[in-house]
């Protein structure tokens, strides 16, 4: 059961809610009652409820102040705020404070129960996700490796990230290795068993190492040392890689390729070592499989493997997958200009770089574009190998990158248009429901509350509240013009449970009260 605390300075409301709702029947435990925010905060700290129902306007400490205080010591608490229509101005603050929802007084019991059940479902969903993440140590390792690829980490951040995945370096000298199964198809348990065997072997080795899971058929290996000699450390790493290679082949009757980045003295440079090990793995089709080699073995052109090269490639892929053709051209021009300025890349090196970029574009594009033709990558690779001029090579890369970026751009445009249309259709079909809110619509179209809110503003130029108000008011105008319904009846049919609030909204929207509008419309009909 989820515990609930009620905080309201109105004794009748407190007592009524505590008695009228069959808490246990709906899976809740009423853990406490309080008459103001200060008292409520004390009760909440003692009982630690999952859900709090609170009035906004209260003495000593109002509901918004109390919400802010609650979120500081337990951000997971779901807070349902109660407000009169005159206090609707506080809705924006409530959203900023991440209140779960707010209800307009007078409160319908059924509506409150519905909100409680929604909050309960949200709590269960969050708990399930949290458990999955908590139980998945390998998932956290994958996330760390992705972070390592995306951005540099300072010393404090690196220690914190490593600590979160159970890695405590024995020294600042470090190196990263990448291990990839040479088989393209293998039982899911094979990689897990190989990783386990590598962990056990490293425990007996003089070097302090850690195995980290990565996506697909690959995993990482970080080695640390407090030794002062980088050369001796590098030699020990090469020996370890060969020993692991033989161990895996003999025990599992399969082969792997192990690549190594450079040895660095600063822990923050572990990122570059890892990126270098990944880059070295991309040359496996040239260097061969069932072997181990370092980034230096393919570094015939004295490339600067650190920093800019990785960042520029990452920028290019980012703009392709975001569907930004103009930015794609800019980044490719930067890469080409750097090569021309340095003048230290042979034709072979340039072709290899081009092939790498082409394959990365193809790999990322295939994730997004359903009808992506993968054969064009192989065709382009064969074409690049025969080229002799750098400008011609980059013309072909740009053609592919722009094609992919344009396709992604169209997909995103169509996806957003379809999403907005579905949301508007849902609003048009359910505007008469008093409990309709942005979260309900977002759940219906399977996106987040924040994303849909931003999408409305970008695509339509209006926020959700304005869209819903316009729909309800236009329908109210139609009902007044086409029927003799009373004001409260029109209010009910347009999604307002409070006719006074409806009248106030109608006057703000039209400039006339419902009575004035009906009288004016009646006069026009007579005329």
pLDDT tens, position by position, 353-390: 888 888 888 888 887 787 788 788 888 888 888 887 88
Please write the tens of the pLDDT for every residue from 15-45: 888 888 888 888 899 999 998 889 989 999 9
Closest CA to 292 of 300, 280, 305: 280
Quote the percentage of the chain above a pLDDT of 70: 90
Average pLDDT of span 436-441: 92
pTM recorded for the entire structure: 0.38
Q: What is the DSSP string of 238-294?
A: HHHHHHHHHHHHHHHS--EEEEE---BSSGGGHHHHHHHHHHHHTTHHHH-SS-EEE
Q: According to the model, what pLDDT value does residue 342 have?
A: 64
Residue 466 pLDDT > 80:
yes
> For position 306, what pLDDT does the model report?
39
Give the residue from 62, 220, 209 showing the smallest Cα distance to 148: 220
Quick one: pLDDT band at residue 337, thresholds 50, 70, 90? confident
- Tens of pLDDT along 474-510? 999 999 888 889 999 999 999 999 999 999 999 898 8
What pLDDT digit, counting tens, does each position of 284-329 carry? 766 778 999 998 887 444 444 434 455 677 788 888 887 888 888 8
Q: Which of 131-140, 290-299, 331-340, 460-469 has the lowest mean pLDDT?
A: 131-140
Task: Pick 6 or 94 by higher pLDDT.
Answer: 6
Residue 456, number of CB atoms within 10 A of its CB:
21
Confidence of residue 171 (pLDDT cuts 50, 70, 90): confident
Instruction: For residues 434-458, give the mean pLDDT.
Output: 85
Cα–Cα dist 186/424, whole Å:
47
Question: How would DSSP label each residue in 85-125?
Answer: GGGGGGHHHHHHTT-SEEEESSPPHHHHHHHHHHHHHHHHH
DSSP string over 186-233: --HHHHHHHHHHHHHHHHHSSSEEEEEE-STTEEEEEEEE--S-HHHH
248 vs 188, more confident: 248
Furthest-apart CA atoms within the chain: distance in Å = 101
CA distance 331 to 320: 10
pLDDT (tens digit per residue) in 196-233: 899 899 888 888 888 888 777 889 999 988 776 778 88
Whole-angstrom Cα distance, residue 296 to residue 373? Answer: 34
């Amino acid at each position: 059961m989820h515990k609930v605390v009620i905080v309201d300075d109105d004794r009748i409301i407190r007592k009524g809610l505590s008695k009228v709702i069959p808490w246990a029947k709906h899976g809740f435990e009423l853990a406490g009652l309080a008459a103001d925010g200060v008292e409520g905060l004390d009760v909440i700290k003692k009982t630690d409820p999952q859900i709090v129902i609170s009035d906004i306007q209260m003495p000593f400490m109002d509901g918004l102040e109390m919400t802010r205080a609650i979120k500081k010591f337990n951000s997971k608490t779901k807070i349902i705020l109660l407000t009169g229509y005159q206090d609707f101005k506080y809705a924006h603050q409530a959203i900023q404070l991440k209140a779960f929802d707010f209800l307009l007084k007078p409160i319908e019991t059924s509506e409150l129960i519905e909100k409680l059940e929604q909050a309960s479902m949200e709590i269960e969903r969050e708990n399930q996700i949290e458990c999955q993440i908590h139980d998945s140590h390998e998932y956290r390792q994958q996330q760390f490796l992705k972070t390592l690829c995306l951005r540099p980490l300072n010393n404090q951040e690196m220690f914190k990230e490593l600590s979160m995945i159970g890695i405590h370096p024995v020294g600042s000298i470090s190196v990263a290795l990448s291990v990839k199964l040479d088989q393209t198809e293998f039982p899911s348990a094979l990689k897990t068993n190989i990783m386990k065997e590598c962990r056990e072997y490293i425990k007996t080795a003089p070097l302090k190492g850690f195995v980290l899971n990565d996506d697909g058929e690959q995993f990482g290996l970080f080695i640390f040392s407090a030794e002062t000699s980088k050369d001796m450390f590098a030699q020990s790493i090469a020996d370890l890689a060969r020993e692991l290679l033989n161990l895996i082949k003999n025990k599992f009757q399969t082969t792997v390729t192990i690549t190594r980045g450079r040895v660095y003295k600063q822990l923050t440079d572990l990122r570059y070592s890892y990126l270098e090990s990944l880059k070295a793995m991309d040359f496996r089709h040239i260097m061969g499989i069932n072997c181990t080699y370092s980034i230096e073995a393919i570094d015939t052109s004295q490339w600067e493997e650190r920093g800019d090269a990785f960042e520029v490639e990452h920028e290019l892929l980012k703009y392709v997958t975001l569907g930004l053709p103009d930015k794609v051209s800019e980044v490719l021009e930067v890469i080409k200009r750097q090569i021309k300025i340095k003048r230290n890349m042979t034709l072979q090196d340039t072709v290899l770089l081009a092939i790498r970029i082409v394959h990365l574009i193809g790999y990322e594009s295939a994730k997004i574009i359903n009808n992506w033709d993968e054969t064009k990558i192989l065709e382009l690779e064969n074409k690049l190998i025969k080229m002799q001029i750098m400008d011609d090579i980059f013309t072909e890369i740009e053609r592919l990158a722009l094609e992919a970026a344009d396709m992604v751009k169209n997909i995103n445009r169509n996806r957003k248009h379809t999403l907005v249309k579905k949301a508007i259709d849902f609003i048009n079909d359910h505007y008469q429901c008093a409990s309709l809110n942005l979260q309900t619509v977002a759940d219906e179209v399977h996106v987040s509350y924040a994303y849909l809110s931003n999408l409305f503003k970008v695509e339509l130029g209006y926020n959700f509240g304005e869209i819903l108000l316009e729909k309800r008011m236009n329908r109210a105008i139609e009902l007044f013009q086409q029927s003799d319904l009373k004001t409260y009846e029109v209010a009910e049919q347009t999604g307002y449970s409070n006719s006074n609030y409806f009248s106030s909204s109608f006057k703000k929207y039209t400039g006339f009260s419902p009575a004035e509008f009906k009288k004016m419309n009646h006069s026009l009909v007579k005329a």
